[in-house]
């Protein structure tokens, strides 16, 4: 049974507990480390201003369009400078905070935001990573007041009283540099993954383009599943492929954690999944999620298609399941599904729709060749996404270890930073001064 959370994943509601102070570190309140900055601005009606917003989950400060002064409803505005640390008063419990990038220098924010600058005790890049610690997130939640998680209001004065252990500045810089390297690696990999997705989508569009088109109901046997996750003692235990398995995966394999449930012998015979079956969403709360598709890439044991899904089993000698799955992702075919769904609150397909929607269908030989090419493209993307997940997991571990002092960062890291030997010398002087003053 999946764990039920009282709060969204963006919220860390646990009681903040400051761990033991590492050797050589000092303890400060946030009031020692951050100062409030206010730069009020009188909006000119005809002048255009850059607006920004703070994304949840510490997603950073991003642009929110530009407006002329007369179109900005909240007239109490403040200038945000590059390097400012912004906190959304109403969204900080969800991690809505971040550092203003150089590209958004001189943007304006309303009094719904707190603008802060680090004191000489705190490195701004170290602060960026500090926000990702569980302890930091918990202090934000417990400094927010309200009865509903979506309506909490930040109490800045209370938040400023929380204590944090911090290393000397030169160690803060080392830690930030290590974590910055992981961020850069993740960003580069995400950019590459995005480029590969665009390439794959272009290939899908090009390779599945043909004048020969055939209705879905003519190339496959289609059934709409009625199996839900409820268990009944007189039914057979099965594994159930659900809606989320299809949304998140282009290929269905035994690597997935299918739901557990039960089904009748008739349901197992009718909705049991076989190699080459194409599984797609038949109803959803959004039209865009209709006909999201996956294909069964290996023989699955005791797995049935669950509710909200349909199975298309391609007819032998006419269509290949792997090809059909790719063809259903063709933008023109996707658009046909989206425009033909019925419903207002929840959208759904009907069996009649399967008679109306046609997909490009070349010869079986061409289908096989196209499927092989696109499967290879998918495999490359999947491998890259797994790599990105590993990098993110590594970074989460590093954040918790480095920012609590569990793992020291060697001084040799300074050679890799901008400044090289000059940094090493400056750090040596700083360390000597720290030892002399105790």
Using pLDDT thresholds of 50, 70 and 90, give the confidence band for residue 417: low
Q: What is the mean pLDDT of residues 227-256?
A: 87
Using pLDDT thresholds of 50, 70 and 90, give the confidence band for residue 332: confident
Percent of the chain with pLDDT over 90: 71
Q: Is 433 among the domain residues?
A: yes
Same domain flag for 222 and 175: no
The 10s digit of each residue's pLDDT in 78-129 is: 999 999 999 999 999 999 999 999 999 999 999 999 999 999 999 999 999 9
The 10s digit of each residue's pLDDT in 335-366 is: 888 888 877 667 888 888 899 999 999 999 99
The 10s digit of each residue's pLDDT in 25-84 is: 999 999 999 999 999 999 999 999 999 999 998 999 999 999 999 999 998 999 999 999
Residue 224 has a pLDDT of: 94
Residue 201 burial (C-beta neighbours within 10 Å; 0-12, 13-18, 19+): middle
Please tell me what DSSP assigns to residue 369.
H
The 10s digit of each residue's pLDDT in 261-295 is: 999 999 999 999 999 999 999 988 888 888 899 99
Q: Which two tokens stand for residue 314?
A: 């391609």
Say which residues have a Cβ less than 8 Å from residue 212's Cβ, sequence separation at least 6.
360, 361, 362
Same domain flag for 123 and 232: no
Residue 111 has a pLDDT of: 92
Burial track 256-282 (b if 16+ CB lie within 10 A, e otherwise):
bebbebbbeeebbebbbbeebbbbbbb
Residue 416 has a pLDDT of: 66
Say which residues have a Cβ less than 8 Å from residue 256's Cβ, sequence separation at least 6.
241, 245, 249
Q: Which two tokens stand for residue 23?
A: 């050797």
**Which regions of 18-112 does DSSP assign to beta strands (E)?**
26-29, 34-36, 40-41, 48-54, 61-68, 77-80, 85-88, 97-99, 107-110
Same domain flag for 194 and 269: no
Q: Is 43 among the domain residues?
A: yes
Host domain of residue 69: 1-166
Using pLDDT thresholds of 50, 70 and 90, give the confidence band for residue 161: very high
Residue 423 has a pLDDT of: 43
Same domain flag for 304 and 268: yes
Residue 249 has a pLDDT of: 86
- Tell me: pLDDT of 1 over 60: no
Residue ending a domain, among 146, 166, 186, is: 166
Same domain flag for 327 and 218: yes
- The CATH number that applies at residue 248 is 3.90.220.20
Same domain flag for 432 and 406: yes
Backbone dihedral angles phi then psi of residue 58, each to the nearest 5 degrees: 55, 40
**What does the mean pLDDT of the chain come to?**
89
Domain count, the chain: 3
Question: For strand 61-68 and strand 48-54, is the pairing parallel, antiparallel, or unpaired?
Answer: antiparallel
Q: Is 316 among the domain residues?
A: yes
CA torsion sign, 389 to 84 to 38 to 35? positive
Q: Is 372 among the domain residues?
A: no
H or E segment and range at residue 107: strand 107-110
Same domain flag for 140 and 247: no
Task: Name the nearest CA neighbour of 291 among 206, 237, 354, 344.
Answer: 354
No. of helices (H) and no. of strands (E), the chain: 13, 25
């Amino acid at each position: 049974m999946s764990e039920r959370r009282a709060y969204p994943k963006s919220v860390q509601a646990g009681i903040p507990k400051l761990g033991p102070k590492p050797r050589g570190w000092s303890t400060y309140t946030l009031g020692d480390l951050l100062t409030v900055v206010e730069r009020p601005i009188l909006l000119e009606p005809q002048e255009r201003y850059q607006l920004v917003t703070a994304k949840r989950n510490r997603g950073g400060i991003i642009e929110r369009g530009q407006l002329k002064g007369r179109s900005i409803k909240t007239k109490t505005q403040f200038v945000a400078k590059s390097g400012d640390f912004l906190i959304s008063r109403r969204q900080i419990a969800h991690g809505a905070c971040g550092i203003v990038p150089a590209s958004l220098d001189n943007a304006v924010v309303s009094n719904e935001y707190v603008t802060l600058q680090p004191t000489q005790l705190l490195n701004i890049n170290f602060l960026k990573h500090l926000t990702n610690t569980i302890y930091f997130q918990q202090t934000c939640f417990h400094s927010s007041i309200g009865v509903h998680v979506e309506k909490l209001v930040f109490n800045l004065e209370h938040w400023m009283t929380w204590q944090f252990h911090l290393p000397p500045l030169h160690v803060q810089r080392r830690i930030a540099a290590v974590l910055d390297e992981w961020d850069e690696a993740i960003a580069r990999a995400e950019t590459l993954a995005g480029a590969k997705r665009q390439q794959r989508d272009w290939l899908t569009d090009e390779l599945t383009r043909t004048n020969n088109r055939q209705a879905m109901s003519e190339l496959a046997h289609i059934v709409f599943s009625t199996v839900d996750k409820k268990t009944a003692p007189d039914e057979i235990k099965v594994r159930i492929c659900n809606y989320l398995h299809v949304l998140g995966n282009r290929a269905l394999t035994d690597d997935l954690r299918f739901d557990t449930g039960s089904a009748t012998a008739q349901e197992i015979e009718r909705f049991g999944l076989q190699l080459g079956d194409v599984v797609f969403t038949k109803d959803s709360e959004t039209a865009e999620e209709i006909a999201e598709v996956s294909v069964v890439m290996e023989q699955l044991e005791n797995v049935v298609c669950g509710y909200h899904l349909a199975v298309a089993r391609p007819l032998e000698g006419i269509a290949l399941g792997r090809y059909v799955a790719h063809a259903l992702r063709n933008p023109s075919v996707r658009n046909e599904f989206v425009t033909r769904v019925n419903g207002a609150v929840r959208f759904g397909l009907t069996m009649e729709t399967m008679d109306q929607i046609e997909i490009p269908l070349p010869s079986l030989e061409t289908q096989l060749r196209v499927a092989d090419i696109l499967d290879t493209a998918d495999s490359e993307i999947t491998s890259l996404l797994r790599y990105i997940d590993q990098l993110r997991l590594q970074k989460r571990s590093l954040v918790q270890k480095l920012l609590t002092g569990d793992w020291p960062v060697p001084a040799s890291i300074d050679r890799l930073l901008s400044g090289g030997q000059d940094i090493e010398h400056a750090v040596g002087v700083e360390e000597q001064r720290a030892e002399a003053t105790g």
